[in-house]
Amino acid sequence: MNAKLKNTVELAGIYLVIAVMFLVILYPLLWVLGISLNPGTSAYSASIIPKNASLEHYIWLFTNKDSDYLLWYKNTLIVASAKTVLSLIVTLLLAYAFSRYHFVGRKNGLYVLMLVKIFPVLMGMVALYILLNIVGLLDSLVGLTLIYVGTSIPTHAFLVKGYFDTIPRDLDESAKIDGAGHFRIFFQIILPLAVPIVAVVALFNFMAPFMDFMLPSIVIRSPENYTLALGLYNLVNREFGSNFTRFAAGSVLIAVPIATVFLYFQRYLISGLTVGASKS
């Protein structure tokens, strides 16, 4: 009886912690949603969801001639998609090489990746700014994308390498005996088993440009190249820092593509784990 009571108390404590964390996460989201539905420019409302809720700020973002929200959205989607594709290609090949092959400089290469991973990106922004200016990619989406790709590789390469290391090397040896080459082993054996980590890395890469403000604010100058975070900041700034309702509406809409991609990859996470378990 004491053991049963103890388990009940522990279970109740776990659910209590989960409930508290859920409220801590949910309240700010509901608060931002309420502000976006509040008419006018005031961020204050008597309730989380205002009684006179309106979609006027969402409509303004998409229909008003003074709003470049669709352009910011397009720029961010371009950068996020390009970053995801390029980062995945480089990261997967790099992680596979470090995981499966022994070559001169492999150990030092891992040390270099680790060191680059430790230091924050902003430490090298002066050098990156000068480099982009020299090659003519400053104030361009291409330059911003290349910085995103380069800065994401070290962290994600270590993450993917650790996952590749858990895949038995016997699969590689069996495939080589059957005549499979390096690329065939990588694409037909390793990648199908690594779908979960590929999905996680793809999601992280896609999310970053939607939420990042620092890098675009340093690299981008022209309004036609603004991303969502930079555009929304300048939207509030030119409105004398008072129009937080439109800012909130734009922020809520940022979650749409991220949630869509997450729900899409969620299927592959589950199926990838199942396939990996059955094949190993």
Give per-residue pLDDT as tens, 150-207: 888 888 888 888 888 888 888 888 888 888 888 888 888 888 888 888 888 888 899 8
Confidence at 279, pLDDT banded by 50, 70, 90: very low
CATH class of 59-279: mainly alpha
What is the per-residue pLDDT across 98-137, written as a single tens digit (0 to 9) for each? 988 888 888 888 888 777 777 777 777 888 888 899 999 9
Residues near 94 by Cβ (< 8 Å), separated by ≥ 6? 153, 157
pLDDT (0 to 100) of residue 270: 61
Closest-CA residue to 219 (of 128, 148, 138): 138
Distance of CA 46 to the CA centre of its chain: 34
Q: Which one-letter DSSP state was computed for residue 177?
A: H
Alpha carbons 64 and 246: distance in angstroms, whole number:
12
Q: Over range 11-29, report the average pLDDT.
A: 88
Q: Give the model confidence (pLDDT) of 88-99 as tens digits.
A: 999 999 999 998
Asked if residue 27 has pLDDT above 70, the reply is yes
Contact 189, 118 (CB under 8 A): no
Asked if residue 275 has pLDDT above 70, the reply is no
Task: Give the pLDDT of residue 35.
Answer: 85
- What is the distance between the alpha carbons of residues 124 and 127, in angstroms, rounded to a whole number? 5
41 has a pLDDT exceeding 80: no
Degrees, nearest 5: CA angle 254-256-261? 115
CB 179 within 8 A of CB 196: no
What pLDDT score does 34 carry?
85
